[in-house]
């Protein structure tokens, strides 16, 4: 069995532990903050207010994120995992103090930006490091297991956070207690990173310092490398189309939960939204389980495109129904397709791009996903009626964006991918 052989890779298991434990804390942090900002009695009910909250979370990193990829191609990625997690623990401790002190929301937002920005740096480092822990023939399985294991960890953390928030109320005290749990978990994540050899995760080229101009030049080089790897290029566009559709669905679910499905109870709205997020996590888990054998039977392009079309068929009527069941079903389908397409894309990028430029390409992909998600949220936020029901936006999610994503994926299906050199792995 491919997965049995995969788990015999000792360094893969250690890197996986760092991802799972770290993303469990991500689920707690993000859900605690989202519950407090979006569903507390003092939060804004307007779609524009929701867009603003997500803009604070996503946009700043999207501006500085590309530089992180270049740094990851010149910094020891193991060291990034250690020190970035310790830095996050310190920043989350600062968030606890800010929350309890009832400081101005701008200060809270500023610290959140650094916390989430550091998190994206860690996730990019994990993605760029993964090919150095498994042989090339096991990379598809690794790209299936690692992200979904992290997703499950984040979903469990989010479920814990959202459940406590719904039961105890999205108060400052509850938020601070949840963040305290995350501080301990982030220190544990840093300690788990120390089990990995310093040089194993790369980069394997000579490390040297660069000027800002050189960083920009290398980013442009990374984009050019991605463009020349045509299968990877079109697969990336398929991911971006899916994430934009997910952004629209996310905004519609938040607004409808607050204004239609549970207008008189912030705790009830938070619980409904938590169920939709759980549905997306369950769909992602299913996608990770079935995608590797399906890709071997169908080939990656056909399978990925098929899952995206399936999501269009399920998510569109789910959004149009404006019911809890419809939203959960739609979220599950979108999670399933998103995980399937991401596995395909990560594998194609890892096999198409050499280790010397892999960090910046993954970082560009990560930033592109953020921008696509925020774009979907923004478009929906400024077009959706106050009641959260919009037939045109519901159709745009499925019929336009998801169909476009499937077409992008299929356009690169016939392109051949030549495996890039991967460091020797010791197990």
Q: Could you tell me the residue ranges of all domains in the chain? A: 2-200+212-411
Count CB atoms within 10 A of the CB of residue 343: 28
Q: Helical H runs in 257-386?
A: 266-298, 300-321, 324-352, 355-383
Q: Residue 309 has what pLDDT?
A: 93
Single out the residue of 26, 19, 20, 124 nearest to residue 71, CA to CA: 124
Residues sharing a CB contact under 8 Å with residue 11, sequence separation 6 or more, in sequence order: 132, 133, 196, 197, 200, 425, 426, 427
Integer-rounded Cα Rg, in Å, for the chain is 20
Q: Which CATH code is given to the segment(s) 2-200+212-411? A: 1.20.1250.20
Q: Residue 46 has what pLDDT?
A: 64
User: For 361-373, b where at least 16 C-beta lie within 10 A, e where not — what string?
Assistant: bbbbbbbbbbbbb
User: For 228-243, b where at least 16 C-beta lie within 10 A, e where not — what string?
Assistant: ebbbbbbbbbbbbbbb
**Hey, what are 48's tokens?**
């524009």
Q: Residue 426 has what pLDDT?
A: 39
Do residues 115 and 88 make contact, with C-beta atoms less than 8 angstroms apart?
A: yes
- Phi/psi for 275 (5° steps) reads -65, -40
Q: Dihedral through CA 222, CA 225, CA 226, CA 227, nearest 10?
A: 120
Q: Residue 417 has what pLDDT?
A: 44
Burial class (CB in 10 A: 0-12, 13-18, 19+), 207: exposed
Q: Could you list the pLDDT tens digit for every one of the 427 residues in the chain?
A: 456 678 889 999 999 999 999 999 998 988 887 766 665 555 555 666 667 667 766 666 666 666 666 667 778 899 999 999 999 999 999 989 988 887 766 677 678 777 877 887 898 889 889 989 998 888 878 887 888 788 888 888 887 887 777 777 667 788 888 999 999 999 999 999 999 999 898 887 665 555 567 667 777 888 888 888 888 888 899 999 999 999 888 888 888 877 777 666 666 666 777 788 788 888 988 888 888 888 777 776 788 889 999 999 998 888 888 888 988 999 999 999 998 998 888 888 887 887 777 777 887 888 788 889 888 888 888 888 766 677 888 887 767 889 999 999 888 765 444 444 444 343 3
**What CA–CA distance (Å, rounded) separates 298 from 300?**
7
**What CA–CA distance (Å, rounded) separates 51 from 58?**
10
Measured at the CA of 118, the angle between CA 421 and CA 184, to 5 degrees, comes to 110
Distances in Å between the Cα of 134 and the Cα atoms of 22, 94, 196, 353 are: 21, 37, 14, 16
Q: Dihedral through CA 188, CA 185, CA 69, CA 54, nearest 10?
A: 180
Do residues 376 and 251 make contact, with C-beta atoms less than 8 angstroms apart?
A: yes
**What CA–CA distance (Å, rounded) separates 359 from 77?**
10
User: For 279-308, b where at least 16 C-beta lie within 10 A, e where not — what string?
Assistant: bbbbbbbbbbebbbebbeeeebbbbbbbbb
Q: Residue 217 has what pLDDT?
A: 79
Half-sphere exposure of 187 (CA within 13 A, CB side): 8
């Amino acid at each position: 069995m491919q997965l049995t052989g995969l788990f015999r890779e000792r360094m893969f298991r250690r890197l996986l532990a760092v991802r799972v434990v770290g993303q469990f804390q991500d689920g707690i942090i993000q859900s605690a903050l989202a519950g407090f900002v979006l569903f507390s009695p003092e939060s804004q009910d307007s779609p524009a207010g929701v867009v603003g909250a997500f803009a604070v979370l996503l946009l700043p990193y999207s501006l500085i994120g590309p530089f992180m990829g270049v740094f990851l191609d010149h910094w020891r990625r193991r060291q990034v995992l250690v020190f970035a997690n310790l830095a996050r623990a310190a920043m989350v401790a600062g968030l606890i103090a800010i929350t309890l002190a009832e400081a101005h929301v701008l200060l809270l937002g500023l610290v959140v930006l650094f916390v989430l920005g550091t998190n994206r740096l860690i996730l990019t480092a994990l993605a760029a490091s993964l090919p150095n822990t498994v042989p090339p023939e096991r990379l598809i399985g690794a790209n299936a297991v690692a992200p979904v294991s992290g997703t499950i960890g984040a979903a469990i953390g989010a479920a814990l956070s959202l459940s406590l928030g719904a039961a105890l109320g999205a108060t400052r005290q509850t938020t601070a207690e949840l963040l305290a749990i995350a501080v301990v978990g982030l220190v544990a994540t840093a300690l788990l990173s120390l089990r990995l050899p310093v040089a194993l995760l790369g980069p394997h080229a000579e490390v040297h310092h660069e000027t800002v101009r050189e960083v920009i030049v290398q980013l442009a080089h990374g984009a050019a490398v991605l463009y020349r790897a045509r299968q990877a290029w079109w697969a990336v566009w398929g991911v971006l189309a899916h994430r934009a559709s997910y952004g629209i669905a996310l905004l519609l679910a938040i607004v409808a939960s607050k204004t239609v499905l549970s207008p008189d109870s912030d705790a009830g709205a938070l619980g409904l939204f938590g169920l939709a997020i759980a549905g997306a996590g369950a769909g992602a888990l299913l996608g990770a389980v079935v995608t590797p054998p399906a890709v071997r039977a169908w080939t990656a392009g056909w399978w990925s495109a098929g899952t995206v079309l399936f999501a269009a068929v399920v998510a569109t009527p789910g959004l149009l129904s404006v019911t809890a069941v419809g939203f959960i079903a739609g979220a599950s389908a979108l999670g399933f397709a998103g995980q399937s397409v991401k596995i395909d894309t990560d594998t194609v990028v890892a096999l198409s791009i050499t280790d010397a430029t892999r960090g910046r390409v993954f970082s560009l992909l990560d930033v592109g996903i953020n921008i696509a998600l925020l774009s979907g949220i923004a478009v929906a936020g400024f077009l959706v009626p106050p009641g959260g029901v919009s037939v045109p936006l519901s159709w745009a999610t499925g019929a336009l964006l998801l169909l476009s994503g499937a077409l992008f994926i299929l356009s690169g299906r016939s392109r051949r991918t030549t495996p890039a050199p991967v460091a020797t792995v010791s197990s």
